[in-house]
Homo-oligomer: A and B are copies of this chain.
Amino acid sequence: MGIRAIERAMRVLQEMNLQPYTSISHLHKRTGLPKPTLVRILKTLEEAGYVENDPRLGGYQVSALVSSLSSGFHKEPMVVEAGRPWAIAITRKHQWPVSISLLDRDAVVVRFSTVPDSSMSPFHKTVNMRLPLITRGMGLAYLAFTAPEEFRLILDILRKSDDPEDELAHHPEQVLRRVERVRELGYATRSPHVEPRNSNTIAVPILNDDGRVMASLGLTYFTSAFGSEAEACEQYAPVLKAAAAQISRDLKRLSASPLT
């Protein structure tokens, strides 16, 4: 059980949002709270600026400031919503953690991760990790499937980066070679020289109905669990590709739904 006064205040505030103005008597009927209690709560909310009690406008009403209590809420990206169950399913079946990343300027950022669901994770947590686009599997899987104009734009941005992992942006022909290879294979992995070396990530792109890349889906494993990277890729790349295709279909269905 939490702090009683806070629970009550939220209940009162929620109730006040159900009609343009309200009275002590009405709130008493709706919430069951004693009137002296309501008066104290409303006085607190009024002094903090969330409530107004101007007789010119009728009883108590919520003020503009209540917007600040919800302005930061944004529904999660649909691709995360679509991908979540598939990521969880793969971790349940194969134990290794799976994550979904989205582009954020010059890197991808992990927006969902099943690390907490996995008992064999090389990392404690990966959500919110910012992963470079050239050297990390999650980043390269995204970059490789961007449209040509977007690809060039991103390369321009990377050239201005001071992150050593973006250094290769100054050698576009090398980046192009990697990108072509990834497009051939349909998946990307971490560059061999990049730490930590006791783990690796295999990643694939998630495309939308128009064939535009929306996110990357990756599985991370301990390198010691496999004889070679090729062995791991042979086993998991098909699993990730199939899941990404399913996520694309679910994403299309979600986008068409009137409830979103």
Where the two chains meet, the residues of A that have a C-beta atom closer than 8 Å to any C-beta of B are: 1-3, 5-7, 9-10, 13-14, 16-21, 40-41, 43-45, 47-48, 50, 55-59, 62-64, 66-76, 111-117, 125, 127-128
Contacts and interface: CB of A to CB of B under 8 A. Distances in A.
B72 A16 contact: yes
A116 B57 CA distance: 10
A115 B56 CA distance: 7
Given A3-B41, A7-B48, A14-B68, 19 more contacts: A2-B43, A3-B5, A3-B40, A3-B44, A10-B50, A10-B69, A13-B69, A14-B69, A17-B68, A18-B72, A19-B72, A20-B72, A21-B128, A55-B115, A56-B115, A57-B112, A63-B73, A66-B69, A69-B69
Contacts of A62: 70, 72-73
Contacts of A114: 56
A213 to B, nearest CB: 22
Contact of A20 (B3, B74, B116): B74
Which 10 residue pairs are nearest across A and B when measured between Cβ atoms? A2-B44, A17-B72, A66-B70, A58-B127, A58-B128, A6-B9, A55-B116, A69-B69, A70-B70, A3-B44
Contacts of A45: 2, 6, 10
Nearest to A129: B58
Nearest to A62: B73
A62 to B, nearest CB: 5
Contact of A64 (B6, B43, B73, B115): B73
A137 to B, nearest CB: 20
A76 B57 contact: yes
A48 B10 contact: yes
A44 B8 CA distance: 11
A30 B72 CA distance: 16
Contacts of A115: 55-56
Contacts of A66: 69-70, 73
Contacts of A13: 69
A50 to B, nearest CB: 7
Contacts of A70: 17, 62, 66-67, 69-71
Contacts of A41: 3, 6
A9 B1 CA distance: 15
Contacts of A10: 9, 45, 48, 50, 69
A121 to B, nearest CB: 11
Contact of A127 (B18, B55, B64): B55
